[in-house]
Amino acid sequence: MAKSIWIMLVITAWYDYEIWQMDVKMTFLNGFIEEEIYMDQSEGFTVVGEEQKVCHLQRSIYGLKQASQSWNIRFDEVIRGYDFVKDDFDPCVYKKDLDEASYILGIKIFRDRSKRILGMTQNSYVEKILKRFKMEHSKRGFLPMRHGVKLSKKQSPKSQVEDLEMGHRVSYRDLH
């Protein structure tokens, strides 16, 4: 999904297209199921004297094999009802002209159309974290490293294990 979004943003910058946004709050719990499915009563929710009874599912739940597909079918029906159009090349992308986007997935979008530059920042997320820990008035810096440091590919981690080990030593990586 991140690649699809990145590619769309690159194409937008190159051709100077408009960017529009939407917010979707859906879960697997919104899907309907067509099969007859029964499950044991959940622990802590059994009815005293009726422990032998089972529950007849009327909607999808997490962990159900059909959950993804039933949610996708329901989402497709609902989103098309609001005049969204499914993309021909990526069936997970729906389009509708809403308004110029300023945030996508919590990431601020900025652009300089004269230079055909499109950028992204998570400054608001960093501000939120600083505020949560009462550090919004702390001394700020531009980079989490010394100015002028030259990095090379040789310094990159050689394996996932080495990457994890390096990451544990650098606390600011938790902010991405």
Res. 88: pLDDT tops 90: no
Q: Is residue 159 domain-resident?
A: no
Q: Is residue 16 domain-resident?
A: yes
Average pLDDT of span 27-36: 82
- End residue of a domain, out of 97, 123, 146: 97
- End residue of a domain, out of 97, 122, 150: 97
pLDDT of residue 7: 81
Q: Is residue 161 domain-resident?
A: no
11 and 35 belong to one structural domain = no
93 and 27 belong to one structural domain = yes
How high is the mean pLDDT of the chain?
80
Structural domain total, the chain: 2
Q: What is the pTM of this model?
A: 0.41
33 and 84 belong to one structural domain = yes
pLDDT of residue 160: 83
Please list the residues that pair with 86 across neighbouring strands.
94
* Full domain range(s) for residue 67: 22-97
81 and 127 belong to one structural domain = no
